[in-house]
Amino acid sequence: MEFDIMVGPNRWKDAAELASRAESASFSGLMFTETGQTPWMSIAAAAMAAPRLTYSTGIAVAFPMSPMVAASLAWELADNTQGQFRLGLGSQVRAHVERRYGMEFDPPGPRMRDYLHAVQATLAAFRGEAKLDHRGPYYQLTMLPQQWMPLSHSHGDVKVDVSAVGPWMTRMAGAVADGVHVHPLHSVHYINERLLPAVAEGADSADRNPAEVDLLIPVFIVPGDTSEEREALAHRARTQIGFYGSTKNYAFQFEDLGFEGVSSRLNDCIKAGDLTGLAATITDEMLDTFAIVGPWNEIADRLIDRYQGLAKRVISYLTVDDLAANPGNVSKWRDVATAVTAA
């Protein structure tokens, strides 16, 4: 298993510094998410500082970008990281796409499928394998003059991954994508009983081996040798789990495990602005289900026990938070990373 760090918005110099620390601490890579900042420039800065890491977007919001732009960015980053880049795309939600970006959203599943095909067709054209001639229901890319071709390189087989939660998008990912970005709010039950069967169904429909589809799994990791040491990250994890769980799209994650009515209570907390109540709603049992919690010397074994054989890459959701508060913990994270990547 590869072991990465999830990275949010930051300044380029901070991204470069984090990359250097991650590389020295034996992490495999950095995954940059897109929230209030695009990931591309931070990845470039990080890759210049730590060229041995693998870089990925987890996720970049697809619909505000032309597939040509997404493919071009991926091509350039693959070139300059010597092939150590994966393009992770996601649809986001309607409100953000329509009201924040001013772009079309519906229908998100078929639109994303066409988007992925368009990106893949563009990358194939960049590699010189075929003329660009993608004619889909939502995107048509049919023009690529020679003078507009990007610089050629030998790292053009860029992995294109997609985020998926529900059955339709997950089946589509199994049919089309190189990998699936699993949602941070997940359980092993969800992966085994819902996600993997849907991926397999999609792969079968496209005459693919489901094993060809990588799972990239962000994980809330809460290490500490005492409850006091774990308190800050545990609260951060409870709050984030509660935030995700408050939306109806993720209610099934709780209900499947017998935590009935939890999503509704979380939604009430969000509406009331009660973040304290939101975190308090997530019990220790829920935290242990949706996160990895324990003393430092058990974290690696717990990650391996839960995810080995499932995940291509495990991405630590809270490492940046921990290192910001406790810079001296870098050696402890190194021990975890070394053990996980050796498994």
Owner of token pair 């069967």 = 197
CA distances from 193 to 208, 239, 295, 305, 310 (A): 20, 26, 29, 18, 13
Q: What is the mean pLDDT of the chain?
A: 98
Q: pLDDT, tens digit, for every residue of 142-199?
A: 999 999 999 999 999 999 999 999 999 999 999 999 999 999 999 999 999 999 999 9
Q: Rounded to the nearest 5°, which phi and psi values hold at 4?
A: -115, 170
Q: pLDDT, tens digit, for every residue of 136-146?
A: 999 999 999 99
Between CA 301 and CA 304, with CA 303 as vertex, the angle to 5 degrees is 65
When pLDDT is cut at 50, 70 and 90, the band that residue 209 belongs to is very high
pLDDT at res. 1: 96
Query: Interhelix angle for 330-342 vs 12-24, to 10°?
Result: 60
Q: Is the pLDDT of residue 288 over 90?
A: yes
The two structure tokens encoding residue 305: 């026990």
pLDDT at res. 217: 99
Query: What residues does each domain of the chain span?
Result: 2-228+298-342, 229-294
Q: Is the pLDDT of residue 272 over 90?
A: yes
Measured between alpha carbons, how far is 99 from 287 in angstroms, rounded to an integer? 33
| Whether the Cβ atoms of residue 97 and residue 47 lie closer than 8 Å to each other | no
Q: pLDDT, tens digit, for every residue of 73-120?
A: 999 999 999 999 999 999 999 999 999 999 999 999 999 999 999 999
CATH topology of domain 2-228+298-342: TIM Barrel (3.20.20)
Q: Which pTM was predicted?
A: 0.96
When pLDDT is cut at 50, 70 and 90, the band that residue 61 belongs to is very high
| Whether the Cβ atoms of residue 160 and residue 177 lie closer than 8 Å to each other | yes
Q: Is the pLDDT of residue 249 over 90?
A: no
Measured between alpha carbons, how far is 121 from 142 in angstroms, rounded to an integer? 10
| DSSP string for residues in 148-206 | GPPPP-S----EEEEE--SHHHHHHHHHH-SEEE--SS--HHHIIIIIHHHHHHHHHHT
